[in-house]
Amino acid sequence: MAIDARRVRERELDQRELKERVVEINRVAKVVKGGRRFSFTALVVIGDEVDRVGVGYGKAREVPLAISKAVDDAKKNLFQVPKKGQTITHEIIGKFGAARVLLRPASEGTGVIAGGGVRAVRELAGIRDILAKSLGTPNPINLLKATVQGLQSLRRPEDVARIRGKQVHEVLFPRAKRAEPAQTATEPQPAQAATEPQPAVEDGVPSEETTSAVPEDQE
């Protein structure tokens, strides 16, 4: 039964249409004995806008051939992205060479806060809400590879729960708050405010010490 379910899943993945997006095309010059020999390189991202994405790099003497090679390379590097709704499962930093890319899940309606090739990877992977920030080199190739490394390092809640021996809802954020134990110790009573001393009264007449001096009427 598990093998049949896997085959059905693979068939569904194969039927999804892969969309491609060219991130960058660069002209490369190679100096030879007779002069310069020019060629073109293409950086391409492909994905089904659901949960699969891949990045490819191609080089050829003409631009269309370079893009075709990059697409073929990207199809070999397809992988699935763990998601929670329309965002990623947890925060992570992707690293490759001198590139650092911070990936942070976002609430619904935030959108894709990213730029350049990083944005292309998010959209073709089916991620609709995410925050991304480049912390290192702006090289587009290293940025894309750092993004891919970060997405491949994401873990699913089911896998984390199985490793830790807990239920899925216990590892998801925010976690349910634990019931606070009832307080048994009695709270200290507030100190009574000190009362001001009252003047001494003898037979209904205040004493001379406590009576205030009243100025005599001037003639």
> pLDDT digits over 79-130, tens only?
999 888 888 988 999 999 999 999 999 988 889 998 888 899 988 999 999 9
Nearest-5° Cα angle at 128, 166 to 161: 5
At residue 164, the pLDDT reads 85
List of the chain residues with pLDDT < 70 = 1-15, 172-219
List residues bridging with 104 in a β-sheet.
Answer: 131
How much is the pTM? 0.69
User: What's the per-residue H, E or C state across 71-83?
Assistant: HHHHHHCCEECCE
At residue 219, the pLDDT reads 46
At residue 6, the pLDDT reads 58
Alpha-carbon span 126 to 219, nearest angstrom: 101
Residue in the structure block whose two tokens are 């994905």? 47
Backbone angles phi, psi at 215, to 5 degrees: -60, 140
Strand order in the sheet with 92-96: 92-96, 99-105, 130-134, 112-113
CA atoms in the 13 A half-sphere facing the CB of 65: 6
Regarding beta strands 130-134 and 112-113, do their DSSP bridges make them parallel or antiparallel, or are they unpaired?
Answer: parallel
At residue 201, the pLDDT reads 54
Calculate the CA 86 to chain-centre distance: 12
At residue 57, the pLDDT reads 94
Alpha-carbon span 125 to 89, nearest angstrom: 14
At residue 92, the pLDDT reads 92
At residue 83, the pLDDT reads 87
Q: Which residues of 182-209 are buried (b: 16+ CB within 10 A; e: fewer)?
A: eeeeeeeeeeeeeeeeeeeeeeeeeeee
